[in-house]
Amino acid sequence: MANELTGRRRGKPAGEELRRRAVAAVLEKGMTGHAAALHFEVSERSVARWISRYRERGHLREAPRPGRPSRIEPERERIFAVLERRPDLSIRALQAALAARGLVFGTGSLQRFLTRHGLQRARRLPRRRQRAPKAGGRN
């Protein structure tokens, strides 16, 4: 359920604009941290943390999060070139086409990449093989 005032869903991080407005309410308008927390429907601890961050850093942007750099994003143009030539490729066929060009990615990585760029692949169900009737017996 989305909050009417802030436009964010419960449990999701507050955006920079909401943080900026809450800090401005306290520092510029003289509102208490408790009143700002009630008004913006966030915790008092969050408002206090945002004020502290603003005083220390001079901004409210989140710090960069640690993590491994993407291996697939630098190859974006090459992947798009393959898909431009053959837009009907399944994930596995795309994976094989990229492997032939020396780009090895898992199917999950490819699926997330395509989803991130709005290029969903249709999921194809495997065909069922029909059994051949047994010779000289009942079916």
**pTM for this prediction:** 0.47
Task: Look at residue 10 and tell me whether its pLDDT is greater than 50.
Answer: yes
- Under a CB-based contact definition with an 8 Å cutoff, are residues 55 and 99 in contact? no
pLDDT above 90 coverage of the chain, percent: 58
pLDDT score, position 1: 40
Segment 28-39 mean pLDDT: 94
Of 102, 101, 116, residue with least CA distance to 70 = 116
The residues near 33 (Cβ < 8 Å, ≥ 6 apart) are 26, 44, 47, 48, 51
DSSP-assigned letter for residue 73? G
Interval 41-53: pLDDT, tens: 999 999 999 999 9
∠ Cα 58 16 27 (to 5°) = 50
Which residue spans within the chain are E strands per DSSP?
A: none
* Plot region of 47 (φ>0 → left; ψ -120 to 50 → alpha; else → beta): alpha
Average pLDDT, the chain: 85
CA atoms within 13 A on the CB side of 112: 8
Secondary structure of residue 10 in the 3-state scheme? coil
**pLDDT tens digit sequence for 85-102:** 998 899 999 999 999 999
